């Protein structure tokens, strides 16, 4: 009953606080304003030469910078002010434009964490979009429509398969009683069995069953796996498209992520022009299938392209466009086991392809990939040079292969290296008909509001904290001081945990911190009122301290666990802003239990433990 902690407990408390201090420390170093130069989707690395040119241009423009560095193929240049950063961005863009280097030049903030801290893995907290400004999109992919389109295309494909000229299987009835279910009837059992074998070999997406009524029939039911596959394909295709586009926007740390079954989150920190962002995100690539021109074809009917370093002349007539392609994947040629690309068209596409190729066996067919891109141009407006983005259409031949047979709904391109096959399939998919996508939610926070939010948040946390500290000191005297030290340690630990978990700090998150400050003292209030009560019951000061801490413990545990329970529910049901609040609240509850019970006890023990005390300052 001497109220002293064993050494290990004091060390535990001191160690936790020290660790907290180290991991919270990076947050006091304000980030530098920086311009980041990074590669486009091409995988090109920023060269030391390009960086040297850029820094030279900055010197010429008399823009002070420090720390121009190359890392992981991209360059980072730091500036002392946001004005310097903004004007530097223009200079850098201009220089790279003159160098004909196609890089993304984005504004960024560079952490200034000292290396001894980052070596320990300590990083500052990340700020959410509501604090740094930027655009958040929630895109929804219209998978329902895609699924019904694809199922219909497959039905048509099955019909075409049965009608194939070489091996025709006559059916008497072909109907679809519900979506994804087909019933095909035949006159004889033999016909039905042949059809079954043939369909099963080509359409693994369907479950095949046989039956008899007045005729012999098979029923085909699409598997849930197949539906899921169509859905995944549609979402991934859009995901890829968005990723490619985002690069064009010049965003430092974009986030493009699938959410649930058919949604895609796009977070673009720092972007203010939402209209431009939407325009760029909405762009899609497409494909054209065209035949190579005959040597004697008139010039007016052909176009010239470059393919693998040689000029090729391609007919102007388009066989079909990307919207007829519904799948492209890498496979292996069963004869040579070399890689190949399997392409599937819808039934109209198959028809068009058949018509175009049946009389042209032996000629070559080209696939042309068409993309809208933007190019920077510098114009003089009112005597001032301004940068304008000019859209242009880029067309390139991605495949030129000899037609070996009359082609239909599905065909393959062979004779490729495995890398080529993958690249070609990727491009074909990117140019294939994309599932419709629309904006389900959009939130834009201007840079000025973000700044205000940080300032107001910091102000309300400090004022709230100050008031609570004052009140505790006034009401509980020396014990209040102990509680205050614990409260500050709690904030330190909260920030440290948030930082090391890479949790994102948002405005509701700040509200969570404020609430934590108010509620964290609750544990101490419980303990202290208990101590006062025991003193009133004529307990000795040392015994009262011990009893107060011990008896309040279960109550504190119960009260905090139930609050934690609610916070976890909040997290699991919540979207963006609510999640931010739930995270800080949960972490705050856990850290406050540690500091308010163990921390305060350690301090009180240091103050009163192990000696004869007549009166407590409580």
Nearer to another protein, 258 or 363 (CB): 258
- The site map against another protein for 459-498 (x = CB under 8 A) is xx--xxx-xx--xx--x-----------------------
> Among candidates 566, 580, 576, 598, which has minimal Cα distance to 457?
580
Q: Are 588 and 513 in contact (CB under 8 A)?
A: yes
- Please work out the total of residues on this chain that contact another protein, with binding judged by CB under 8 A: 78
The tokens for 501 are 């978990």
Binding region for another protein (CB under 8 A) out of 78-86, 295-303, 314-322, 506-514: 506-514
List 514, 544, 545, 604, residue binding another protein (CB under 8 A)? 514
356 binds another protein (CB under 8 A): no
The residue written with tokens 């909040």 in the block is 570
31 binds another protein (CB under 8 A): no
175 binds another protein (CB under 8 A): no
Q: State which of positions 443-462 bind another protein (CB under 8 A).
A: 443-446, 448-449, 452-453, 456-457, 459-460
> Among candidates 188, 196, 197, which has minimal Cα distance to 218?
196
Nearer to another protein, 539 or 578 (CB): 578
Q: State which of positions 269-298 bind another protein (CB under 8 A).
A: 272, 274-275, 278
For 584, the 3-state DSSP assignment is: helix
127 binds another protein (CB under 8 A): no
563 binds another protein (CB under 8 A): yes
Enclosing H/E stretch for 249? helix 224-249
Nearer to another protein, 207 or 459 (CB): 459
Report the DSSP pairing between strands 310-315 and 325-332.
unpaired
Q: What sign does the dihedral 467-468-473-475 (CA atoms) show?
A: positive
353 binds another protein (CB under 8 A): no
Nearer to another protein, 210 or 557 (CB): 557
342 binds another protein (CB under 8 A): no
Q: State which of positions 594-613 bind another protein (CB under 8 A).
A: 597-598, 601
593 binds another protein (CB under 8 A): no
Minimum distance of another protein from residue 53's CB (angstroms) = 35
Cα gap 48→589, rounded to integer Å: 49
Q: How many CB atoms lie within 10 A of CB 168?
A: 9
Backbone angles phi, psi at 67, to 5 degrees: 60, 65
Minimum distance of another protein from residue 512's CB (angstroms) = 8
Nearer to another protein, 50 or 147 (CB): 147
Cα–Cα distance list, 207 to 142, 210, 226 (Å): 25, 10, 10
List 562, 610, 611, 617, residue binding another protein (CB under 8 A)? 562
Q: At what angle do helices 507-536 and 541-573 cross, to 10 degrees?
A: 150
Cα–chain-centroid distance for residue 291?
Answer: 40
- 402 Cβ contact partners less than 8 Å away, ≥ 6 residues apart: 362, 363, 364, 365
Q: State which of positions 219-258 bind another protein (CB under 8 A).
A: none
> Among candidates 498, 524, 492, which has minimal Cα distance to 618?
524
List 222, 343, 526, 544, residue binding another protein (CB under 8 A)? 526
């Amino acid at each position: 009953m001497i109220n002293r902690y064993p050494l290990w407990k004091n060390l535990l408390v001191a160690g936790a606080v020290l660790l907290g201090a180290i991991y919270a420390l990076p947050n006091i170093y304000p980030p530098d304003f920086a311009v980041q130069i990074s590669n486009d989707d091409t995988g090109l690395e920023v060269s030391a030469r390009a960086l040297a040119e850029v820094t030279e241009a900055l010197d010429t423009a008399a823009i002070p910078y420090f720390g121009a560095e190359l890392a992981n193929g991209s360059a980072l240049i730091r500036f002392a002010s946001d004005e310097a950063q903004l004007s530097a961005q223009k200079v850098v863009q201009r220089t790279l434009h003159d160098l004909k280097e196609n890089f993304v030049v984005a504004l960024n903030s560079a952490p200034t964490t000292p290396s001894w801290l980052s070596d320990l893995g300590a990083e500052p907290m990340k700020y959410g979009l509501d604090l740094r400004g930027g655009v958040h999109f929630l895109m929804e992919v219209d998978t329902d429509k895609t699924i019904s389109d694809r199922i219909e295309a497959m039905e048509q494909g099955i019909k075409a398969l049965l009608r194939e000229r070489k091996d025709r299987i006559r059916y008497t009835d072909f109907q679809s009683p519900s979506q994804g279910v087909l019933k095909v009837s035949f006159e004889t059992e033999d016909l039905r069995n042949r059809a079954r074998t043939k369909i099963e070999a080509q359409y693994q997406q369907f479950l095949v069953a046989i039956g008899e009524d007045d005729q012999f029939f098979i029923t085909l039911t699409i598997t849930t796996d197949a539906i899921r596959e169509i859905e995944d394909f549609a979402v991934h295709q859009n995901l890829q498209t968005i990723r490619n586009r985002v690069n064009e926007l010049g965003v430092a740390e974009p986030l493009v992520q699938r959410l649930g079954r058919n949604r895609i989150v796009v977070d673009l920190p720092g972007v203010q022009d939402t209209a431009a962002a939407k325009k760029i995100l909405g762009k899609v690539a497409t494909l054209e299938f065209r035949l190579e021109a005959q040597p004697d074809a008139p010039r007016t009917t052909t176009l010239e392209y470059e393919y693998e370093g040689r000029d090729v002349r391609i007919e102007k007539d388009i066989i079909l466009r990307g919207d007829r392609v519904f799948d492209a994947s890498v496979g292996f040629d069963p004869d040579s086991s070399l890689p190949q690309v399997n392409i599937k068209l819808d039934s109209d596409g198959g028809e068009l392809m058949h018509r175009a190729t049946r009389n042209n066996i032996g000629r070559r067919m080209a696939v042309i990939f068409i993309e809208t891109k933007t190019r920077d141009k510098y114009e003089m407006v009112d005597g001032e040079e301004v940068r304008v983005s000019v859209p242009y259409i880029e067309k390139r031949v991605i495949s030129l292969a000899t037609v070996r047979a009359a082609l239909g709904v599905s065909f393959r391109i062979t004779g490729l290296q495995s890398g080529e096959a993958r690249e070609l399939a990727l491009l074909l998919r990117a140019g294939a008909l994309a599932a419709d996508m629309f904006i389900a939610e959009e939130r834009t926070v201007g840079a000025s509001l973000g700044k205000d939010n940080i300032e107001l948040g910091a102000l309300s946390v400090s004022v709230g904290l100050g008031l609570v500290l004052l009140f505790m000191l006034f009401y509980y005297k020396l014990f209040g001081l102990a509680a205050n030290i614990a409260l500050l340690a709690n904030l330190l630990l909260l920030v440290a945990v948030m930082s090391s978990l890479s949790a994102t700090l948002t405005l509701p998150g700040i509200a969570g911190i404020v609430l934590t400050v108010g509620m964290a003292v609750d544990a101490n209030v419980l303990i202290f009122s208990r101590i006062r009560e025991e003193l009133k019951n004529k307990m000795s000061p040392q015994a009262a301290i011990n009893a107060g801490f011990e008896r309040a413990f279960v109550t504190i545990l119960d009260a905090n666990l139930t609050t934690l329970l609610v916070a976890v529910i909040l997290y699991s049901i919540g979207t963006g802003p609510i999640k931010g609040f739930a995270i800080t609240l949960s972490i705050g509850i856990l850290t406050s239990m540690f500091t308010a019970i163990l921390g305060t006890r350690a301090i009180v023990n240091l103050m009163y433990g192990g000696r004869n005390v007549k009166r407590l300052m409580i």
